[in-house]
Amino acid sequence: MRVILIGPPGVGKGTQAALIGSRKGVQTLSSGEIFRREIEAQTDLGRLAQRYISHGELVPNGVTIEMMAKRLRESEVRKHGFILDGFPRTVKQADALNEILFDMEMPLQKVFWLQAPDELIVSRLSGRLGCTKCGAIYHSVNKPPTREGFCDVCNSPIVVRSDDQPETIRERLRVFRESTAPVIEYYKDLGLLVAVDATRDAEEVYKEIIRETD
C-alpha cells in the first residue's frame, strides 16, 4: 500500500492511519507524531518544531522534507509500503515527495481526502486525548480508554495535546485552507484523489479506504 491521508486537523487521519497500519502491516509515517516524539526527546529538531506547532503554524518545508525523506527511505517502507498522515501539507512538500518516490520507484496509489464540517472537527479535537508514549489516540466520549487517564496499549498517561486549545485549533484550520487545500487540487489534477466522508464511524471510514485500495 502506498497512500496519503489528507484533510483538516481533527478529521481522523491519525485514527485511520493507526487502524490501517496495525491491520494491514503497513508503515505509518505521521509527520505530526514524529515532531511530537522529537519534542518529547528534546532534540534540536524538536525545539525548532515546537516553536511553530505551539502556534498552529507549519514547520518550515526544508526540515520537514528532510525528516520525511529519511523515514521514507527506511527498509520497512521499501518492503511493505507506507501510509502518509499529515505529509505533504504544502505544494512544495508534494513536489519533493514526487521526487523521492520517483527515485524509490514507489509510485503513489491514492490520496484519500478525509472530509468533515468544522463543527464536528472542533468537537472531535476538544475531546481528544493522546498517549504520551506510543501516540495512541482516544476521545473522552467517542473512544475513552478502558482505565481513565491511561493508555490501553502501553499503560502510559494520556493527555490533551498542547495544540488542542480553541485558538490554536482555529489557526490550524486557517493554515489548512491556505496551505494544504492547494495540495488537494494538486492530487486531483494528477487523478489520484478519492474524497471520503469522514463524518461516519471510524470503522466505516476504514472500510471505504480499504475497499478503494484492495
Q: Which stretch binds ligand AP5 (CB under 6 A): 39-47, 71-79, 124-132, 188-196?
A: 124-132
51 part of the active site: no
Instruction: Specify whether the CB–CB gap between 99 and 68 falls below 8 A.
Output: no
For residues 10 to 29, the per-residue mask of contacts with Mg ion, x marking binding by CB under 5 A and - elsewhere, is ----x---------------
Among 4, 26, 82, 87, binds ligand AP5 (CB under 6 A): 87
To Mg ion, the closest distance from the beta carbon of 15 in angstroms equals 8
User: How many whole angstroms from its chain centre is CA 163?
Assistant: 14
Residue 70, helix vs strand vs coil: helix
Give the residue closest to ligand AP5 by C-beta. Answer: 32
Q: b vs e for 165-201, b when ≥16 Cβ sit within 10 Å of the residue's Cβ? A: eeebbebbbebbeebbeebbebbeeeebbbebebeee
Among 1, 45, 58, 193, binds ligand AP5 (CB under 6 A): 58
Give the residue closest to Mg ion by C-beta. Answer: 14
Kindly name the residue from 2, 13, 110, 124 that is annotated as catalytic: 13
Partner whose binding site includes residue 136, from Mg ion, ligand AP5, none (CB under 5 to 8 Å by kind): none
Instruction: Specify whether the CB–CB gap between 9 and 121 falls below 8 A.
Output: yes
Q: Which helix (H) or strand (E) holds 71?
A: helix 61-72
Interface ranges with Mg ion (CB under 5 A): 14
